[in-house]
A = this chain, B = another copy of it.
Amino acid sequence: MVDAAGKTFKPEMERCIDDCTRMHQIALTASGHALRHGGEENTNHIIRVLSDCVEMCQTAANFMLRGSPNHGRVCGVTAEICREVARECGKFEDEPMQKVVEAATACAESCEAMA
């Protein structure tokens, strides 16, 4: 990705922006899936976990895109929240949730590298 000023991001930051953007998109679509298919007692919990992830991934990507020196702290919190998503969604065995787990694990790893 080349930014509007013709500058390139460092590869590890570019990867992290991409992973956060993808996780944000997947967590938003997965919330709808959980609402429709989750067992009653689990739905509220998973939606809450995914909502945190939707918002933090968006925030982390925005900090990096703005070139903020504070992105490391934000990525640190985002990594922890992605790990929680991977752990909680990993309790479901259906294939859509397995895709969430993969994306969350990848995003946690690249956020940890930026923290």
Please give the count of copies of this chain that the complex contains.
4
Chain B residues near A47: list those with CB within 8 A.
Answer: 35, 47
Give Cα distance in the complex from A81 to B69, angstroms: 11
Known pairs A55-B59, A80-B73; A65 contacts B28 (CB<8 A): yes
Give Cα distance in the complex from A65 to B26, angstroms: 8
- Size range of the chain A interface in the assembly: 35 or more
B96 touches A68 (CB 8 A): no
Interface residues of A, Cβ cutoff 8 Å to B: 1, 3-7, 17, 21, 25-33, 35-37, 40, 43-44, 47-48, 51-52, 55-56, 58-59, 61-63, 65-68, 70, 73-74, 76-77, 80-81, 84, 95-97, 99-100
